[in-house]
Amino acid sequence: MASMPLKDQQDLVRLAAAANPFQAHIWEQALEQEGIRCQVLGDYLDAGIGDIPGFSAEVWVEAADLARAEAILRQHSEEAVQAEASEQADESGPE
């Protein structure tokens, strides 16, 4: 993703910290599909300093989009939980 222009970065707020860079980029894609501009920060920190607690990939959005972005991530997380539960049910099969 191209960086947001510097003047817009003043209006950026932290949406969420991800468990890992992969998750942060999944969230980024979900938000961009809904038309929300966002930026992942800190996704390459672990390459330079290793896995240190307190340093994680974060997703930042424009302040005006924060509420909508939170709702989209909530929905995305709920769908992921449902998909995982469905997979586990399929693996266990009928008893």
Angle between helices 21-33 and 66-92 in degrees, nearest 10: 120
- Residue 3 is assigned to a structural domain of this protein: no
Tens-place pLDDT, residues 22-61: 999 999 999 999 999 999 998 876 555 555 555 789 999 9
- Residue 5 is assigned to a structural domain of this protein: no
Structural domain including 43 reads: 11-92
Tens-place pLDDT, residues 58-72: 999 999 999 999 999
- Residue 43 is assigned to a structural domain of this protein: yes
We report the CATH number of the domain holding residue 28 as 3.30.70
- Residue 64 is assigned to a structural domain of this protein: yes
User: How many domains does the structure of the chain reveal?
Assistant: 1
Select the more confidently predicted residue: 94 or 90.
Answer: 90
Q: Say which residues have a Cβ less than 8 Å from residue 68's Cβ, sequence separation at least 6.
A: 34, 36
